[in-house]
Chain A
Amino acid sequence: MEYFDYYFYFFSFIVLASAAVVVFSKNLLYAAVGLLTTLVGISGLFFLLDARFLAFIQVLVYVGGVLVFIVYGIMLTNRIRDLQFKTEFHFVIPALVLTGILAGFIIKGAMEFREAALGKVLKNIELNQIALILFNDYLIVFEILGLLLLVILIAASSIARK
């Protein structure tokens, strides 16, 4: 159980350090990138708490949706003049090292892959439990959320339009 502790401190450090960047950075785009790493770190903590579904949803909705929204908001509401769009290469060696390490982990995992491991994942009861609770006890809430999303979609596009 030692590894659990190490992972917990690792993800907590990522979350809190990048949250500090969000709070104290003068540059808005740095703050946005800090928010990105904060959300990814929270997703890692969800993994540690055995909430895999929520970890996926966190990356999908927050990092994929909300953060893109916020970056668009920064671009549209600030006059960014000193932003340069360079296309040169830099950090080649560290990038190669990091990519190599990641590729090594993936290949190692692929070599150790067995059918039995897949079966264990598929029998995971977490998703079943969430679905049962969501569609039995909180069905009305779920429907209202769907309606809310529709209303928000129409309202946001009509507010943002001139």
Chain B
Amino acid sequence: MSITLTHFIAVSAVLFSLGLFAILTRRNSVTILMGLELILNAANLNFVAFARFSDTPFRGDVAVLIVIVIAAAETAVALAIFINIFRNFGSIDPNEIKTLKE
């Protein structure tokens, strides 16, 4: 097959960059969370790809399982916090939440 590890890493790198761009530019906290999910998925893809092309092909799967569990937990807590912020500020734009700074 002509698809090599490099192809998977390239897809993962572009996915990571898109996620980072979303985190840096979007002005809605939920979209920032989505960018975070994109980055975690890029990392997962790297884990599986590197593991499959190496001598120990199943170690990467365990790491991906752990990452998926932690991503789900992080999403749950983040959304609970967003709902509270929305209750207090009426918006989840991260630029408007700056009472700690003043």
Residue positions of A touching B, CB distance < 8 A: 1, 4-5, 8, 12, 15-16, 19-20, 22-23, 28, 31-32, 35, 38-39, 42, 45-46, 49-51, 53-54, 57-58, 61-62, 65-66, 69-70, 72-74, 76-78, 126, 129-130, 133-134, 138, 141, 145, 148-149, 152-153, 155-157, 159-160, 162
Contacts and interface: CB of A to CB of B under 8 A. Distances in A.
Contacts of A28: 28, 30-31
A15 B17 CA distance: 13
Chain A interface main SS type: helix
Interface residues of B, number: 55
A23 B14 CA distance: 12
Nearest to B38: A19
A53 B3 contact: no
A99 B102 CA distance: 57
Interface in B59-86: 59, 61-62, 64-66, 68-73, 75-77, 79-84, 86
Question: What 6 A-B pairs are tightest by C-beta distance, nearest first?
Answer: A160-B80, A159-B80, A1-B1, A129-B58, A152-B73, A73-B79
